[in-house]
Structure 1
Amino acid sequence: MASRFEFIIFSMTLSFAAIFHMAMAGDPDILSDFIVPLGSPPVVDGNLFTFTGMRQLVGAPPPDKFKVLKASLAEFPILNGQSVSMAVLQYPGGSVNPPHTHPRASELLFLLDGSLQVGIVDTTNKLYTQTLQEGDIFVFPKGLVHFQYNVDANKPAFAVSAFGSANAGTVSIPNAVFNTSISDAVLATSFKTDVSTIQKLKAGLGH
């Protein structure tokens, strides 16, 4: 596991380098080298620039459902103004990262282990899909609906994603539609179905 973790760290470095130009077009520029978060210790040292939240991956067994670990503004406040963030994504066999969007950033996904079926839907509702193998990189353009699916029921997949914003945001399509207060009647009319079907969908999502 240790050698695998070293490879993860190396891949993160590559991912950050690859999104440099994406980041330059992301969040607004700041007028200082960095922004010290409120509540930080009075003495600024290397700890301020260090994120340790990925250490939990070392030696850990694969999760039993899709899991994402983020290093974004909320988890790593020193990213404020730096126009970059990152996530580590773990896909057990047969799991999916459901259709979602990132309204404030493009996403660059680097597949480290396993295989993934990925897809993008553009603003004309055209679907673009690809099956990624280990070592492949795929870009999800800013704001477009996309997904990732581990088709292999017997082998997990592991990926690292980099974003051109410190706070890319995530809008889950199933949750945004069925786990909010949009009325059942509006949803039933919109999806050309009945209220009973909408309620079953909500129940399946744990509404």
Structure 2
Amino acid sequence: MASTLFRHALFFIVAIFSRSWIARASDPNILSDFLAPESSNTPIDANFFTFTAMRSIFATNQNPANFTVTKASMKEFPALDGQSVSMAVLQFPADGVNPPHTHPRAAELLFVVEGSLEVGFVDTTSKLYSQQTLQTGDMFLFPKGLVHFQYNPSAEAQATAVSAFGSANAGTASLPANLFTAGIADAILAKAFKTDVATIQKIKAGLGAKA
């Protein structure tokens, strides 16, 4: 099964890098072939352009107990700086969800490599575009900056997907975390959601936020 995941992921990577939309991403253009870290005196060689942190994902059939994202963005893979591309592997246990969130600096192209997912996004007119039957080998586009989610509806099977972004630093703003764990006053949240402070505090407690 791991080899099948690898073949799917390899196909996806090749397809993504061949698409012109990545070349037209919003990251600033650079005036050199690549950007070397300013703080490093180590000579640049092929190791600088190599990222190995995802090997373990495809070397085992084990899936994390909770939804897990393994990123290859500019932070984790400095060679991406200035290249307008990054990736992530999303692992969903049975009934696992990636809560509503946005990527302010890039669109996301999701490719399912194992299992099935229910996905969707909401546009700026509050219209929901939802696909409930995304299967292995299917792709789905989340437009830049729009709220979206992914959910594994299976009660038994895990699911895995690979996401590509048109930015080396797409950014992620999780709606539950940003709203309820960032320190916004309970009274303000209660007014915004037309509820009471006690309900807001229960939500915060569920997210592990400080009261």
TM-score strictly above 0.5: yes
> Contact between 1:90 and 1:158, CA under 8 Å: does it hold in 2?
yes
> Contact between 1:19 and 1:108, CA under 8 Å: does it hold in 2?
no
What is the alpha-carbon distance in structure 2 between the residues aligned to residue 54 and residue 104 of structure 1?
23
Deviation at 1:15, TM superposition (A): 4.4
| Secondary structure, aligned partner of 2:54 | helix
Work out which of the residue numbers 168, 183, 186 in structure 2 matches 1:184.
Answer: 186
Alpha carbons of structure 1 residues 18 and 140: separation in structure 2 relative to 1, 3 Å: farther
Q: Percent identity?
A: 59
User: What is residue 96 of structure 1 aligned with on the other side?
Assistant: 97
User: What is residue 193 of structure 1 aligned with on the other side?
Assistant: 195
Deviation at 1:22, TM superposition (A): 3.2
TM-score of the two chains, using structure 2 as the length reference: 0.93
User: What is residue 46 of structure 1 aligned with on the other side?
Assistant: 46
User: What is residue 118 of structure 1 aligned with on the other side?
Assistant: 119
Alpha carbons of structure 1 residues 44 and 174: separation in structure 2 relative to 1, 3 Å: same
User: What is residue 26 of structure 1 aligned with on the other side?
Assistant: 26
Alpha carbons of structure 1 residues 18 and 177: separation in structure 2 relative to 1, 3 Å: farther
> Contact between 1:85 and 1:166, CA under 8 Å: does it hold in 2?
yes
What is the alpha-carbon distance in structure 2 between the residues aligned to residue 194 and residue 61 of structure 1?
42
> Contact between 2:9 and 2:113, CA under 8 Å: does it hold in 1?
no
Q: Which ranges in structure 2 are unaligned for 5 or more consecutive residues?
A: none
What is the alpha-carbon distance in structure 2 between the residues aligned to residue 41 and residue 60 of structure 1?
39
Matched, 1:78 2:85: no
Alpha carbons of structure 1 residues 54 and 21: separation in structure 2 relative to 1, 3 Å: same
What is the alpha-carbon distance in structure 2 between the residues aligned to residue 41 and residue 59 of structure 1?
36
CA RMSD of superposed structures (Å): 1.5
Q: Which ranges in structure 1 are unaligned for 5 or more consecutive residues?
A: none
Could you tell me which amino acid in structure 2 is paired with residue 17 of structure 1? F
What is the alpha-carbon distance in structure 1 between the residues aligned to residue 168 and residue 74 of structure 2?
5
Q: How many pairs are equivalent? A: 207
User: What is residue 149 of structure 2 aligned with on the other side?
Assistant: 147
Q: Greater shift after overlay, 30-39 or 89-98?
A: 30-39
What is the alpha-carbon distance in structure 2 between the residues aligned to residue 121 and residue 23 of structure 1?
26
> Contact between 1:22 and 1:106, CA under 8 Å: does it hold in 2?
no
Work out which of the residue numbers 171, 192, 202 in structure 2 matches 1:169.
Answer: 171
Deviation at 1:43, TM superposition (A): 2.0
What is the alpha-carbon distance in structure 2 between the residues aligned to residue 41 and residue 54 of structure 1?
26
What is the alpha-carbon distance in structure 2 between the residues aligned to residue 188 and residue 2 of structure 1?
47
Deviation at 1:5, TM superposition (A): 4.9
TM-score of the two chains, using structure 1 as the length reference: 0.95
User: What is residue 36 of structure 2 aligned with on the other side?
Assistant: 36
> Contact between 2:102 and 2:173, CA under 8 Å: does it hold in 1?
yes
Alpha carbons of structure 1 residues 162 and 206: separation in structure 2 relative to 1, 3 Å: same
Matched, 1:136 2:167: no
> Contact between 1:15 and 1:162, CA under 8 Å: does it hold in 2?
no
CA offsets per residue over residues 70-124 of structure 1, 9 Å max, x none?
Answer: 0001000111100000000000110100000000000000001111000100001
User: What is residue 62 of structure 2 aligned with on the other side?
Assistant: 61
